Structure 1
């Protein structure tokens, strides 16, 4: 992508690793004022070293009201809600507290942060809200539904909020980014999280669990994109656009897969 001539103030959550970190780096390189945040204190120093430039790096635990309040003091043109966690396993037996926690992080806290940002954007005369959802927020994927449900909700929230902001007429745009699988380590943690509690007491047999483990490894090896460039470019495009689209998907073939599966009733 060419260098950007219009500098924006952009805050991204969950920038400590993976797609968030790569996006923050790309935005800094393009000349934007970047507030790169992470919920791990231990990641702040390394993230600051990695970004350099005009980046401001600090801890922002989105489930902490005091941390969320920090952004009210910032002049933000774009908020990228990237922070999130993953949980997998069968809905038939997963501890519901795990699911509640996941919704708290992936949906409720991001929405609370967004409400603060919208208040400041109204005063500034506009802005952009971006939600990082997932391809599994469009198609049900067995054993990933604890995570998938939060992303279904997030994608729906983005669409509804976009219409509400259009009605408000204050120049606030809303987009959702739906990544496919990228090789950042997140998917491995997500897919294996079920095996932390699926043991001899599971309703699934030991042989079924072993099959799940081998299938997970094989599937991820097949579907994961090795580079995050395609999804980072989508996030950067949405951040810089005067009128961003509702939905951005990468890799390109994931949009086709999602559309076909939805047509087939998946």
Structure 2
């Protein structure tokens, strides 16, 4: 059944690939981006590919932009927009931590509340929260990001239970990407080196850390977004989505084992 699906953060990576994949399956896709320049580029790519997307700017941190969703009868909201931040909790500026929580958690939930108001009236709808495998296992030097995703995952599980109790045919699910080669991971891990100076506790390890991070991602990252896009499609089209959709599966399995053994 054709659905109206709104995706945030569709200017690149998982969001963009999901938008095109869902539109190719016949869904009406509202593909939103953080900036107007991204929106124009995505609209042009849509035209070039011959796959119709309805593209507009929606910066989730702006109340006026969030309200742009109100006229639409949204069947599925894919909360994909987010940001990355890295650094040791021993020294990272708390303003950076506050900012990532503002984007990845608070503004995501504010947009979700707007979408839910319409879904509850229509007594149908699905909200997908794009969290992360990093939101299930603590990861040194990635904790600003991991903590925001831990919180988002908890919010998703709790909201799912609340919607089940409401009995309005509203479904909540978590999308949990692992390490995927989109450039996001490299940009996130590199972010700390922009502010780590000679006085950083880890300044003497910085070069070694960066080299190790590059090697780790080269080994772990899936080469493309195909796996997680397939999971997003499953969640969008499911009559009753399950709680978690994870890809690559081997990384999700590793996370489960790590938690079982208390790593």
* TM-score range relative to shorter protein: over 0.9
Q: What is the CA–CA distance in structure 1 between the aligned matches of 2:25 and 2:122, rounded to whole Å?
A: 22
CA deviation after TM superposition for structure 1 residue 224, in Å: 0.5
Q: What is the CA–CA distance in structure 2 between the aligned matches of 1:91 and 1:56, rounded to whole Å?
A: 40
From 30, 35, 51, the equivalent of 1:35 is 30
Equivalence map 1:128-167=2 (5 Å): 128-167=126-165
Which residue does 1:216 correspond to in 2? 213
Q: What is the CA–CA distance in structure 2 between the aligned matches of 1:250 and 1:242, rounded to whole Å?
A: 21
Aligned length: 260
Which residue does 1:112 correspond to in 2? 110
- Structure 2 residue ranges without an equivalent (≥5): none
Which residue does 1:82 correspond to in 2? 80
Q: Is the 8 A contact 1:177 1:249 kept in 2?
A: yes
> Which consecutive segments of 4 or more residues in structure 1 shift more than 2 A?
49-54
- Structure 1 residue ranges without an equivalent (≥5): 1-5
Q: What is the CA–CA distance in structure 2 between the aligned matches of 1:166 and 1:205, rounded to whole Å?
A: 49
Q: What is the CA–CA distance in structure 1 between the aligned matches of 2:8 and 2:218, rounded to whole Å?
A: 28
Q: What is the CA–CA distance in structure 2 between the aligned matches of 1:252 and 1:147, rounded to whole Å?
A: 21
Q: What is the CA–CA distance in structure 2 between the aligned matches of 1:181 and 1:205, rounded to whole Å?
A: 26
Q: What is the CA–CA distance in structure 1 between the aligned matches of 2:103 and 2:58, rounded to whole Å?
A: 12
TM-score by structure 1 length?
0.96
1:18 matches 2:16: no
1:264 matches 2:261: yes
TM-score by structure 2 length?
0.97
CA deviation after TM superposition for structure 1 residue 192, in Å: 0.5
Q: Deviations over 1:161-215 (max 9, x none)?
A: 0000000111100000110011001011011101011110211232x11111111
